[in-house]
Amino acid sequence: MANANYDVIVIGAGPAGYVAAIRCAQLGLKTACIDNWTNTKGDPSPGGTCLNVGCIPSKALLESSHLYAQSQHDLEQHGISVGEASIDIAAMQSRKEAVVNKLTGGIKQLLGANKVTFIHGKGRVQPERQVVVLDIESGKINETLSAKDIIIATGSEPIELPGFKFDHKKVLDSADTLALKKVPEHLLIVGAGVIGLELGSVWRRLGSEVVMLEALEDFLPMMDTQVAKEAAKIFRKQGLDIRLGTRVTNAEVKDGSVAVTYSNADGEETETFDRLIVAVGRRPRSEELFASDSGLTLDERGYI
């Protein structure tokens, strides 16, 4: 199999990877960018988590849900009457996909315009500064590349809690939640961080009863105290049931629902939900990224 040579190989085409690849090419370096994101049509979809299942789709759904909530609660005070509003989830999701596809398509054009060789596949670092490109479906090696320098920009993925394995039907990660086809009646979100709050806000506005369980005693502790305090007021006014100092201990899918056991200062309780969303943070997307003899090792959290 032919070995293509580059000055730089970038693995990952998210906001770090595609920018790095473009800049390298602008500096006159022969550059390849490998990325394995695929959209719902099966086409390459550079842009990483941010464009595909993160910032962009979440903001698209937040806007749609905000407009829906406005039509129900906020317009009459302006003298505007629109009657009883309804939400078409399929149309809302279709708009979100159109926004995502427009932006990921723009990334592909940018890479091409800057003479970056874009390769759709999964990159794996080998010894001697080589990278094999694996077929996304079969895992077989499509080609082997080499470079003077390799940039790792593979981003992150949702953390899966022990005992809460994602089945992508009842126990969901953030990407699953952004693609829901109907509004859950009773939704539990484990984790009241930025991701959990965005997801909870979208589906609460659309009609879900949303409970959020957060193990920490403080709300958004990484934020300025006053900002966090005001944010908590806004989210609770929106109808989010945010329970701090609450730790989930068990979840069991049965009879089409999820029975969740959690403990807090009052003891242990069990409650049943339509869906369980785990939003407790993210870890490096590094699984199978390096051959065992590549000279790079990972710690127990997946960091190099």
**Mean per-residue pLDDT, 204-211:** 97
Q: Does the pLDDT at position 3 exceed 80?
A: no
Structure tokens at 2: 């032919």
Q: How far is CA 91 from CA 50, 59, 79, 168, 181, in A?
A: 22, 16, 27, 22, 10
Q: Which residues are bridge partners to 284 per DSSP?
A: 156
Handedness of CA 182, 186, 191, 192 (dihedral sign): positive
Give me the pLDDT at residue 83, please: 79
Q: Does the pLDDT at position 1 exceed 50?
A: no
Residue indicated by tokens 């005693």:
217
Q: Tell me: the pLDDT tens digits for 239-273?
A: 999 999 999 999 999 989 999 999 999 999 999 99
Of 2-6, 28-32, 214-218, 221-225, the one with minimum mean pLDDT is 2-6
Cα(142)–Cα(112) distance, rounded to whole angstroms?
21
Residue 10: how many CA atoms within 13 Å on its side-chain side? 28
Q: Does the pLDDT at position 77 exceed 60?
A: yes
> Cβ–Cβ contacts within 10 Å for residue 156, how many?
16
Task: Compute the mean pLDDT over every residue in the chain, rounded to the nearest whole number.
Answer: 95
Q: Tell me: the pLDDT tens digits for 106-151?
A: 999 999 999 999 999 999 999 999 999 999 999 999 999 999 999 9
The rounded percent of the chain whose pLDDT value lies above 70 is 99
Amino acid (1-letter code) at residue 295? G
Exposure string over 178-210, b if 16+ CB within 10 A, otherwise e: bebeebbeebbbbbbbebbbbbbbbbbbbbbbb
> Cβ–Cβ contacts within 10 Å for residue 177, how many?
25
Question: Does residue 207 contact residue 183 with C-beta atoms inside 8 Å?
Answer: yes
